[in-house]
A and B are shown apart, each in its own frame.
Chain A
Amino acid sequence: MADPVRPAVPQTTGGAPQGGPPPVGVQVVHGANQRTLPELVGRRVSEARDVLAEVMNIPRLPIAMIGGRNVEQDYVLRPGDRLEFIQEQGVKG
């Protein structure tokens, strides 16, 4: 698994579009659903999870990734970040 991205490391793999207007929010993805929320800029991954846990059905301590890299729960979110909480595969069939 890729090394976790820590808060002190400059984040260069986020979802900021090139050439367009500057990104204003953080895109959060879990399973099939995604939301972009400006108020998550400057908040930690764990806080984003807590804010969206119920509305996006996010479990406790999910794998969190930005730009294909694992991020720690205390990573501070930046404008343009695309934060994905990995949804586990459904068990039943």
Chain B
Amino acid sequence: MKVKVIGAGGIGSALLATLPRFMRYRLPEVELWIIDGDRYEERNAERQVFDEEGNKAEVTARRIARDFPALVVRAVPEYVTDDSAVRLIREGDVVLAGVDNHKTRKILSDRVAELSSALVISGGNELTTGGIQVYWRESGEDATLPLTNQYHPEIAHPKDLLPTEHCTEQAVVAPQLLPMNSMVAAVMMNAFYAWLKKKLDYDEVYIDIVTNMVRSVNRREKTAAVLVA
């Protein structure tokens, strides 16, 4: 097993503030990859954890290597595309995704669907609401629904672009909040822990930081009940 964090922005950098410590003491033999083609800039400082400007994967990997020298950490300074997904996501991987577009989420889901056993936990948010989706395959079968399931046509048929398909100036910068990114990262960690303990029994989790509500949903169970009826 390798743990591969895709996206080291708002959600990803919050995740990478705690995940390496968890792995160092709970999963010391597991390799951590950080995959991101973007750069940290001063304008990211309000929400993102970094100590120098530069490629997000490389900057974060250097910091983790300093803090946890016993942990094997690898930086991959590139975006995930249809082509690179085949190379970057392999059998048995755990993918923790904090990306900023649905097209990449679809690529991740489609790639995991090609594998016999793999897990992707994908987080995303708007200003004060957000959530995670879990797509887990085990021994050639879906244990949860793909990210592209019928409840999420916005991911099955994404209308946005990959970071490689537009220049930075064209990217729409939607406002985000640090507590929202942090909450999504925490819920992703919870899901990873539940999976490690073989107690993961939901497909997605919804979060609202204003009402402080969190709700997990097992869509697969409901879908199966409807099919039987």
Q: Spell out A's residues near B (CB within 8 Å).
A: 1-2, 13, 29, 31-34, 57, 63, 67-69, 86-93
Query: How far is the CB of A85 from the nearest CB of chain B, in Å?
Result: 11
- Decide yes or no: A90 and B10 within 8 Å by CB, A32-B206, A33-B213 being known contacts: no
| B77-85, B86-94, B127-135, B194-202 - the one binding chain A | B127-135
How many of B's residues come within 8 Å of A, CB to CB?
A: 47
B126 touches A31 (CB 8 A): no
Query: How far is the CB of B221 from the nearest CB of chain A, in Å?
Result: 9
Per a CB cutoff under 8 Å, which of B102, B152, B174, B229 touches A13? Answer: B229
What is the CA–CA distance of A90 and B64 in the complex, to the nearest angstrom?
28
Of all chain B residues, which has the CB nearest A13?
A: B229
Mask for B132-174, Cβ within 8 A of A = 1, else 0? 0100000000000001001111110000100000000000001
- Asked if B11 lies at the interface with its beta carbon under 8 angstroms from chain A, I say yes
Query: How far is the CB of A60 from the nearest CB of chain B, in Å?
Result: 14
* Segment 86-134 of B: residues with Cβ below 8 Å from A: 97-102, 105, 122-126, 129-131, 133
The 9 closest A-B pairs by CB, nearest first: A68-B222, A90-B124, A90-B125, A32-B213, A90-B130, A93-B98, A32-B206, A32-B208, A31-B206
- Asked if B43 lies at the interface with its beta carbon under 8 angstroms from chain A, I say no
- Decide yes or no: A93 and B206 within 8 Å by CB, A87-B129, A88-B154 being known contacts: no
Query: How far is the CB of A26 from the nearest CB of chain B, in Å?
Result: 18
A87 touches B176 (CB 8 A): no
Q: Spell out B's residues near A (CB within 8 Å).
A: 7, 9-12, 97-102, 105, 122-126, 129-131, 133, 147, 150-155, 160, 174, 176, 181, 184, 204, 206-208, 211, 213-215, 222-223, 225-227, 229
Contact residues of A: prevailing secondary structure: loop
- Decide yes or no: A93 and B125 within 8 Å by CB, A31-B131, A33-B213 being known contacts: yes
Q: List 16 A-B contacts (CB under 8 A).
A: A32-B207, A32-B214, A33-B208, A33-B213, A67-B226, A68-B223, A87-B129, A88-B152, A89-B131, A90-B123, A90-B184, A91-B124, A92-B124, A92-B174, A93-B7, A93-B181
Q: Which of B102, B208, B227 has the most CB of A within 10 A?
A: B208
Give chain A residues whose Cβ lies under 8 Å from the Cβ of B150: 1
What is the CA–CA distance of A67 and B123 in the complex, to the nearest angstrom?
26
Of all chain A residues, which has the CB nearest B122?
A: A89
Give chain A residues whose Cβ lies under 8 Å from the Cβ of B12: 93
Of all chain A residues, which has the CB nearest B125?
A: A90
- Knowing that A31-B206, A32-B215, A91-B124 are A-B contacts, what are 10 other residue pairs whose CB atoms are under 8 Å apart, sorted by A's residue number? A2-B223, A31-B131, A31-B207, A32-B129, A33-B211, A67-B226, A68-B226, A89-B204, A90-B125, A93-B11
Give chain B residues whose Cβ lies under 8 Å from the Cβ of A34: 215
What is the CA–CA distance of A57 and B155 in the complex, to the nearest angstrom?
20
